[in-house]
Structure 1
Amino acid sequence: MQKTMKRQWRKLGAVTGGMLLAAGLTTGSAGAANARPHGDVGTLSCYDVATSYSKPDGGYYYPSPFHPLTTTSRCSDINIYPNGSAYVAVCFVPSGGSTHCNGWTAVTANRWNVVATNVRDNTKFFFAFRSDASSAGFWAA
């Protein structure tokens, strides 16, 4: 009887440990999978280089126009994934001449939004927000 009880406790321990391990792995991989928002598989290479941003309350630009962002060869468009809906424009900083901004684009919270299309690699730019409310999320270009 003593041996039977020990075997049952071992089995119970193994089953419980396996269940905890499976739950831990599922929870851990869900966090990693949700670390950055991604679009469909076809655009994954662009969104895979997504960078977080945080525009403080009281400002209209991200980043400062004096420290612009730069497009890469991974994306042909400039994309933004804001935590709140907003109106956003992209302002281009040419190597010579004055800054030019495209029109306002209504962007939807918690999804990728294209705010400029067919942009050349290594183009300098920054985001202009119609509101001075804080904004955070991701961008990819």
Structure 2
Amino acid sequence: MQRADRQFIETLAIDTHGRGFTDISRRVNEVLAAEGAGDGLATLFIRHTSASLTIQENADPDVRTDLLAAFDRLAPENAPYVHTMEGPDDMPAHIKTALTDTSLSIPVSRGRLMLGTWQGIYLFEHRARPHRREVVVHFLGSERA
């Protein structure tokens, strides 16, 4: 068993373009490399309630298009919500976040995320307008040799 002798936390600011997916895989790998991560575990946490994190296919963009449509059917803007103070897209955004993830744990080997060939890490923006979102990256493991 390898001893965990490297730990760090960094917060990424991610600008979204409104509803949709923003691939953050490269940014997370850049943080791991810059901080000298070796083998261990990366935990990602989004500090918001109307956006989420997900691991999805990164090859065919139709997957993300279909996911957006499916989530819009699950939580439509025109439903009779009680919470409407922040606009018609806000309560559906909270529902979509509740159905997805606010944190992900991903193994790291030799300073790189151990994602599958067709996997990418996405910030899933549920609001209609662009936002600046914060994603916390926590690494626990060994230092790069």
TM-score range, shorter chain: 0.3 to 0.5
Structure whose alpha-carbon radius of gyration is higher = 1
Structure richer in helix, relative to its length: 1
Whose relative contact order is higher, 1 or 2, with alpha carbons under 8 Å and at least 6 apart?
2
Scaled by the length of structure 2, the TM-score of the pair is 0.38
Structure richer in strand, relative to its length: 2
Scaled by the length of structure 1, the TM-score of the pair is 0.39
